[in-house]
Homo-oligomer: A and B are copies of this chain.
Amino acid sequence: MDTAALDLLTAREERFPGHVDIICEGSVPRSVFVLIEGMAIRYRDLPDGSRQIITFLIPGDMCDLHVFLLKTMDHSIATLTPVRIAPVSRDSMMDLFIHHPRVSAALWWSSLQEEAMLRERIVSLGRRDARGRVAYLLCELLWRHMAVGLTNGRSFTLPLTQTELGDTLGLSAVHVNRILQDFRKQGLIVMERHKLNLIDLSGLQIIADFNESYLHFGGAPEELADYFDGLERVRQK
């Protein structure tokens, strides 16, 4: 019945074209949503005209689990490609928390994973050189796409321009370009159209000092299910 609750939430669906703002900094979001298809970014524009991309949203990602707790958005969300999203109202969300603790535990879990990714990006920006940052991002994106079944071997669709990569990694587009060329010459990656293939994944992971365990793909510890089942029993009394 919990899956039924989830299905109900994602029944309705909205579409947006590519390169369009879904939510703007300063606005008051009225609903949460799940990204069903396509790719989007969280970002912030800075007064000097530059921008920083904070996270990529790929299918299955929730945006934002708790955003309605904040008065206003402190960043914007924009599409990179045409997307399909399932909006979830504030009320449905509250209903979910009250009546379906196991579902809310799963959502909670995913927000933890996102937090882990934010920490990882901080480490990247603070302490990895440009090659390491690019390599890390490519690995991270491959693993995330893998986790939701959107890979084909070691390749997946990456609809990003080099400018967007630069805005994510704190690098200029020109330098990103040079690093990607270098990776290609070394046979680490192949890119055509927007299909990226990480030929030499382990080589990239070494450059990146990448460790997939930081992304916590293993899922939550087993015993948690027991806790949340207990929670459910209490509430249903």
Interface residues, chain A, with chain B CB atoms under 8 Å away? 42, 44, 46-47, 50-52, 54, 66, 68-72, 74-75, 90, 94, 97-98, 108-109, 111-112, 114-116, 118-123, 125-127, 167-170, 209, 213-214, 216, 218, 220-221, 224, 227, 230-231, 234-235, 237
Residues of chain B lying within 8 A (CB to CB) of residue A221: 68-71
Residues of chain B lying within 8 A (CB to CB) of residue A127: 46, 50-52, 170
Residues of chain B lying within 8 A (CB to CB) of residue A46: 123, 127, 209
Q: Which residue of B lies closest to A171 (CB)?
A: B126
Q: A52-B127, A115-B118 are in contact. List 8 more A-B contacts (CB 8 A).
A: A46-B127, A46-B209, A52-B123, A54-B123, A71-B216, A72-B213, A94-B230, A98-B231
Q: How far is the CA of A19 from the CA of B150 in the complex (A)?
A: 44
B234–A98 contact, CB under 8 A?
yes
Could you list 25 examples of A-B contacts with CB < 8 Å? A44-B119, A44-B123, A46-B123, A46-B127, A47-B209, A52-B126, A54-B119, A69-B112, A69-B224, A70-B116, A71-B216, A71-B220, A72-B213, A74-B116, A74-B120, A94-B231, A97-B231, A98-B231, A98-B234, A111-B115, A114-B115, A126-B167, A126-B169, A234-B235, A237-B237
